[in-house]
């Protein structure tokens, strides 16, 4: 799976405003709603799903990365959004470092295997320091998508 298949320029926030864990999740979800990728009537249940997941353990995995994810009924495919924070977000990450890159995604409840594949693809791509450096230097949403589409962590 390639992250560029889940994302598009309209599913990218190049400069997130939130500086705290929960407001960052709300900002990402609201971005999906404002783009029409998620209906507004799903806001409350999807945020509840994320709250349940985050109450188990923060999805801030370290190295400046967070991967908030949840299951939802009434969706047919994975819905994802990428957010970049130049300032950094206090995401209660495992290493206590601020998060600069967040990929939030929602998966149909019936598709657990797809959930694992999506999580693995995101973690694998963002595990590369070159990819994270390229994402930090990207000047547009299109550049960010090209970085995710590139099978190698080439410089922008």
For residue 18, the enclosing domain spans 3-149
Q: Is residue 91 part of a domain?
A: yes
Q: How many CB atoms lie within 10 A of CB 96?
A: 10
Q: Is residue 154 part of a domain?
A: no
- Confidence at 109, pLDDT banded by 50, 70, 90: confident
Distance CA 67, CA 3 (A): 13
pLDDT at 154: 41
**Contact between residue 144 and residue 82 where contact means Cβ atoms under 8 Å apart:** yes
- Catalytic residue annotation: 69
**Contact between residue 49 and residue 98 where contact means Cβ atoms under 8 Å apart:** no
Distance CA 106, CA 75 (A): 9
Share of the chain above pLDDT 90, in %: 71
Q: What is the largest CA-CA distance in the chain?
A: 40
Say whether pTM exceeds 0.85: yes
Q: Is residue 108 part of a domain?
A: yes
pLDDT at 152: 66
CATH number for position 10? 3.40.930.10
Q: Is residue 155 part of a domain?
A: no
pLDDT at 113: 78
Q: Is residue 115 part of a domain?
A: yes
Count of structural domains, the chain: 1
Q: Is residue 130 part of a domain?
A: yes
Q: Is residue 87 part of a domain?
A: yes
């Amino acid at each position: 799976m390639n992250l560029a298949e889940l994302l598009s320029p309209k599913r990218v926030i190049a400069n997130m405003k939130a500086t705290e864990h929960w407001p960052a999740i709300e900002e990402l979800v609201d971005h999906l709603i404002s783009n029409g990728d998620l209906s507004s009537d799903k806001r409350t249940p999807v945020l509840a799903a994320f709250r349940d997941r985050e109450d188990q353990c923060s999805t801030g995995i370290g190295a400046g990365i967070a991967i908030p994810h949840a299951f939802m009924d009434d969706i047919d495919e994975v819905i994802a959004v990428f957010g970049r924070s130049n300032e950094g977000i206090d995401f209660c990450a495992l290493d206590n470092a601020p998060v600069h890159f967040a990929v939030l995604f929602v998966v149909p409840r019936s598709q657990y295997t797809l959930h694992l594949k999506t999580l693995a693809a995101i973690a694998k791509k963002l595990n590369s320091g070159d990819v994270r450096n390229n994402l930090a230097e990207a000047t547009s949403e299109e550049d960010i998508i090209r970085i995710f589409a590139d099978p190698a962590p080439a410089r922008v």
